[in-house]
Amino acid sequence: MLYIKCPYCGLRAQKEFSYGGDATVKRPNINEEVSSDDWDNFVYMRKSPRGKHIELWQHIAGCRQWIKVQRDTATHEIFQTAKVTEEIR
């Protein structure tokens, strides 16, 4: 079981969370010309690195906030968590 430190609620079990994928993917800006490649990159293309990965989780059975988590995809170790408005470096 993973234990994820929600920035709002503290350390909670993974079962309370729902996964939201790569947090570094940027949606193309609204009201601007968007090329088909840009849409492609946003919707489908993922780096899926082995190692440190910044990802979104939602504390669905808790405060229901979306949060950012920096986790190792090979060891499952969690390094940092942050509010979705904050940066992880």
Closest CA to 65 of 16, 3, 15: 16
Closest CA to 83 of 50, 27, 14, 63: 63
18 versus 65: smaller Cβ distance to another protein: 18
For residues 52 and 72, the answer to whether their CB atoms sit within 8 Å is yes
* β-bridge mates for residue 21, sequence order: 56
Contacts to another protein from residues 18-57, by CB under 8 A: 18-19, 21-22, 36-37, 40-41, 43-50, 53, 55
29 versus 44: smaller Cβ distance to another protein: 44
Helix or strand (DSSP H, E) at 26: none
Question: Does residue 64 interact with another protein by CB under 8 A?
Answer: no
19 versus 79: smaller Cβ distance to another protein: 19
Query: For binding to another protein (CB under 8 A), which residues are involved?
Result: 1-2, 14-15, 18-19, 21-22, 36-37, 40-41, 43-50, 53, 55, 71, 73-76
